Chains A and B, each alone.
Chain A
C-alpha cells in the first residue's frame, strides 16, 4: 500500500518546482537556516568529527551482527511485556497495524512523525479500512490536510508558506470563527495545538516511529521537539512502534553517541527537546502510559541491501543534513523527487525500495559536489552510491538512448588516447576559430542542453593534455 511515486517524471517535477515562486521562497529558508544552525553547533563541539566516526562505527558493527542484535532486542522486548511483529514488506506492516487496531476496537489513531509510516503508506491503508489516522506533528498535520507527501524528512511542510498553512486551516477548521486573525505563525500553532489536544485525548491507539532501537534494554527511542510523539504514545490504550531493521544499536552508550550527532546534524540543536526512551507497556503500579506495547519491524528490501554495496546506506539515521546541504534539493525541493525520501539519501534509497526502473532519474539528479557526504553524520558515501545506481541503470539499458550514444562516442575516443588528443586539439582550435573575438557561444550543435540556459565559453590556450605535457601544472 506504499505511496504512489512520481519519480519517473522527475524532470517535469523539477521544471514545475523551479517555476513555482511560493516554493522557491520557502526553499530559500532551508538553504540559509539549516546550514548555519548545523555549523554553529558542530563548531561548538570539538569532538563532533570524532563522534561522527564513532556513530559510523557503531552502525557498521551493528549491521555486521544484525541478526544477533535483533534476536537480543526481541528477547528484551518480550521480557518487558511488549510484542514484536515482523513485516517483510509494506503490505504486511499495514496489515499488522490494522489487525491490532481492530482488536483494540480503535476508531481513531494518533500518529507521531514516522518516515516508515510514510514509506508503507499506513494512513491511506487505515483510512480505507475504517480507522481514522491523525498526524500530530505540526508539519505532518499540515501535509495530511493537503493530502501531500512530506517534502523533507524532518520538516515535512518546509515547502509551504505561512499564507498557505493559514488557508488550509481556514478550509478545514470550520468550527472556528471565520474572521479570526491568523497573521502570526504563533496563532497558527496555537490553533493546531488546541485542535490536536482533543484528538490526543480521544485516541484509542498511538503510532510512532523510532529513531533507534536498543538491543540491551529492548527499548525504542523517539526524538521530537513538539512533544506530540510523547502524547501519542502515553495517552492511548496501546502504543505501536513502526521501525525498520536497521534502527538497532547495541547499548544505551551507543544510543548516546548517535543522539549527539543526530540533533546537531538535523536541526542544529545541542539536543532535541524530547528524547524519549520507551520500554514495554505500563507497569503494574503505573498511573499512566499505554496498556500494550507493540513493535512492527519492517524489512522492505533492507536485508537484501545488507549484502551489497548499498549496505552503507543502512547507516542512515534520517537527519536530513544531506538534503539541507544539497544544491539540487535547494533548487527543486522535496516533492520533485516523487516519493517519500528526497534529496541525496532519497536518490540512493528510493531506487532500492521502488526499483531503479522507476527511480533512475534520482541518482542522476546530482552534480556530485560532495557536500552531502561532507556533512553526513554517519559518513555515508552518497555520491559513490549514486554512481553505483547510474552504473546499474546503464547495465540494464535503462538510460536514454542519447546518453548511451554519447557515452559510446566518448568511450571510443577514451580507448584511443592518441586519437583523443588529436580530436580535442582540432576541436578546440575549430571552436576558437569559429567563436572568434566574442569569446563565447550562444548556441552550439549537440550542446543545446547547455546553451539554452547559459553561454558556452570559447576554449582558451591549449588542451589540458598539451598543457600538462608542457609542464604547466
Chain B
C-alpha cells in the first residue's frame, strides 16, 4: 500500500465512510462550484469615494503611503515625487504590464527606467496591481510575465499603481473578480496580497519596518472611483 492509500484509508476509517457516497460527493462538488460567501464585514460596503477613503486610511494604518492622480499621465510625476521625497535615485524597475506601458514615462526625462524582473540590485520597483481591498488596505498583485513577483519583494521601495475603479470593498469582491478574470478554479501562479511594507516584531516584540521585503510601500491611485 502506498502512503497515499494508507492515509486515505485511515481518514475514511475514522470518518466511517467509503468515499463513494453520492450525497457526500455532491455536497463537496456543489460547495466548490457554488463557493458560497460566508460572513462579509459591512465595513467595506461603501459608495465609491468613501471606499477609496477607507482604502487610504487602512493602508496608512499599515504604514503604507498613498497618492492619487487624475490619470496615467501624472504617474511619472507621482513616482518621481516619491523618489525625491525620500532622497532616492531617480531610477525604477518595472514590469511590462499593459497599463504601465500606457504611462508616458518620458514626461520625467530624468527618470531612469528599466523593464523586467528584479535580481535584488534595484532600489525601487513599480508594479501594477490587479486590484485593492478597502476593508484592510490590501493590494492584490497577480504574477505573470508582465508583473514579475520579484518586483514585489526584492527592491527596498515598492511603488504600486492601482486604478481607482479596481478598488473593491471587501476580499470576496476581489475573489469574484479574480475568478471572472482567470476562470473558475484557476488562479495565476501567485496572488500576492500586500498590506503595508515588510516588518518584523521578532526581537522583543518591537515592530520594525523593512524585514526581508520592501521598507517602503507607496500606492499611486489613478483616476476616480467608479
Binding site for B on A (CB under 8 A): 26, 29-30, 33, 45-47, 50-51, 53-54, 58, 61, 64-72, 76, 85-88, 92, 136-139, 142, 155-158, 160-162, 165, 185-186, 188-190, 193, 196-197, 200-201, 215-217, 219, 225-228, 230-231, 234-235, 245, 250-254, 256-257, 259-260, 267, 269-283, 285-289, 297, 299, 303-308
Contact = CB atoms under 8 A, between A and B. Distances in A.
The 8 closest A-B pairs by CB, nearest first: A227-B213, A307-B14, A226-B211, A139-B202, A303-B10, A306-B14, A271-B136, A251-B35
Nearest to B14: A307
A228 B200 CA distance: 10
Interface in B147-172: 148-150, 152-154, 171-172
B43 interface: yes
B39 interface: yes
25 contacts: A29-B205, A45-B43, A66-B15, A67-B11, A68-B19, A86-B2, A86-B4, A88-B3, A138-B211, A139-B200, A155-B201, A155-B205, A162-B206, A188-B203, A215-B32, A231-B213, A234-B190, A253-B38, A274-B198, A275-B138, A287-B148, A288-B150, A304-B10, A306-B15, A307-B16
A227 B143 CA distance: 16
A277 B58 CA distance: 22
Contacts of B116: 287
Given A216-B185, A277-B191, 5 more contacts: A138-B211, A227-B213, A250-B32, A252-B35, A273-B199
B86 interface: no
Interface stretch (B20-28, B66-74, B77-85, B105-113): B20-28
B122 interface: no
A193 B211 contact: yes
Contacts of B148: 286-288
Contacts of B87: none
Contact of B39 (A51, A86, A231, A305): A51
B181 interface: no
B7 A297 contact: yes
Nearest to A223: B193
Nearest to B184: A216
A251 B31 contact: yes
B11 A245 contact: yes
B216 to A, nearest CB: 13
A47 B11 contact: no
Interface of B: 2-4, 6-8, 10-17, 19, 24-25, 27-28, 31-32, 35-43, 58, 61-62, 116-117, 119-120, 135-138, 143-145, 148-150, 152-154, 171-172, 175, 178-179, 185-206, 208, 210-214
A253 B175 contact: yes
A69 B15 CA distance: 13
A215 B138 CA distance: 24
A230 B202 contact: no
Contacts of B208: 185-186, 189
Given A66-B11, A217-B186, A274 B192 contact: yes
Contact of B199 (A26, A161, A226): A226
A33 B6 contact: no
A235 B152 CA distance: 12
Given A217-B186, A219-B187, A276 B15 contact: no
B187 A51 contact: no
Nearest to A65: B28
A303 B3 CA distance: 12
Contact of B143 (A85, A139, A142, A286): A286
B28 A69 contact: yes
Contacts of B199: 225-226, 273
A88 B120 contact: no
Contacts of A274: 192-195, 198, 213
A225 B200 contact: yes
Contact of B7 (A47, A196, A299): A299
Contacts of A30: 205
Given A29-B204, A86-B4, A253 B187 contact: no
A270 B62 contact: yes
B4 A45 contact: no
A303 B16 CA distance: 12
B149 A234 contact: yes
A279 B187 contact: yes
A137 B202 contact: yes
Given A65-B27, A87-B3, A189 B145 contact: no
A190 B210 CA distance: 8
A47 B10 contact: no
Most B Cβ at <10 Å: residue of A26, A53, A193 = A193
Nearest to B191: A277
A228 B212 contact: yes
Contacts of A50: 39
A227 B198 contact: yes
Contact of A92 (B3, B185, B201): B3
A274 B149 CA distance: 12
A269 B63 CA distance: 12
B204 A279 contact: no
Contacts of B4: 86
B153 A162 contact: no
Contacts of A275: 138, 192-193, 195
B32 A197 contact: no
Which of A138, A197, A280 gathers most chain B CB within 10 Å?
A: A138
Contacts of A306: 11, 14-15
Contacts of B32: 72, 215-216, 250-251
B6 A253 contact: no
